[in-house]
């Protein structure tokens, strides 16, 4: 029997609302972990990437098995030779259970790189993260993550369009426009 079912009606509504609110805020905090993890990879921000994990987290990627410090170093070392990276999140299913949750996060990762033959390549990796999250105190972080790869595609590079473009192209931290908060305060002149 749910504890709220033995309470008076008004208290029961309040208790259910409080439980729902905790689940919703936990769900949002966990989704932010995934987004910040991807930003850390794309911007080569080791500290941001590392901060999504508890100190005793375990990461199982096949090509890496171990803790979050070594993992953050492994990722930055692997990605720093790439010309560009772009990680996209797909559906994110979260099963909340108090201060613990389990998740499945779909992702697609694009890597522009140069292979051993000197050819620029577009490498796409897609799959899912299978996670366990823990809330300690008031903070949610990843306590276990495994990466499952569902498919990979390696093609000749096709983004010559960006060479010499006037478009604003993403960059690594701190050069990416994301970090230029002053530029985001600009306003246009009103049209007469």
Backbone angles phi, psi at 19, to 5 degrees: -65, -40
What band does 83 get if pLDDT is binned at 50, 70 and 90? Answer: very high
What band does 102 get if pLDDT is binned at 50, 70 and 90? Answer: very high
Distance (Å, whole) CA 104 – CA 98: 18
Domain count of the fold of the chain: 1
Residue 191 inside a domain? The answer is no
CB 131 within 8 A of CB 144: yes
Q: Helix, strand or coil for residue 138?
A: coil
- Least confident interval from 35-44, 136-145, 163-172: 163-172
- Least confident interval from 8-22, 77-91, 135-149: 8-22
Each residue of 173-189: pLDDT tens digit?
888 888 888 888 888 88
The CATH number for 88's domain is 3.10.450.50
Look-up of token digits 């990762």: 109
Residue 149 inside a domain? The answer is yes
Residue 11 inside a domain? The answer is yes
Each residue of 110-121: pLDDT tens digit?
999 999 999 999
pLDDT of residue 9: 66
Q: What is the mean pLDDT of the chain?
A: 90
Domain residue limits at 85? 3-182
Three-state SS annotation for 56-105: EEEEECCCCEECHHHHHHHHHHHHCCCCEEEEEEEEEEEEEECCEEEEEE
């Amino acid at each position: 029997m749910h504890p709220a079912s033995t309470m008076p009606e008004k208290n029961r509504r309040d208790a259910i609302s409080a439980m729902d609110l905790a689940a919703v805020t936990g769900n949002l905090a966990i989704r932010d972990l995934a987004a910040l993890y991807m930003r850390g990879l794309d911007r080569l921000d080791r500290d941001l990437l590392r901060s999504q994990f508890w100190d005793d987290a375990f990461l199982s990627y096949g090509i890496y098995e171990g803790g979050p410090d070594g993992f953050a170093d492994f990722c930055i070392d692997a990605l720093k030779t790439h010309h560009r990276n772009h990680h996209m999140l797909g559906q994110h299913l979260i099963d909340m259970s108090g201060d613990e949750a389990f998740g499945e996060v779909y992702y697609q990762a694009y890597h522009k790189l140069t292979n051993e033959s000197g050819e620029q390549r577009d490498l796409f990796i897609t799959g899912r993260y299978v996670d366990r999250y823990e809330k300690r105190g008031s903070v949610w972080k990843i306590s276990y993550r495994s990466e499952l790869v569902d498919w990979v595609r390696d093609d000749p590079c096709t983004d010559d369009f960006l060479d010499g473009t006037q478009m604003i192209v993403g960059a690594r931290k701190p050069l990416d426009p994301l970090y230029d908060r002053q530029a985001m305060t600009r306003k246009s002149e009103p049209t007469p």
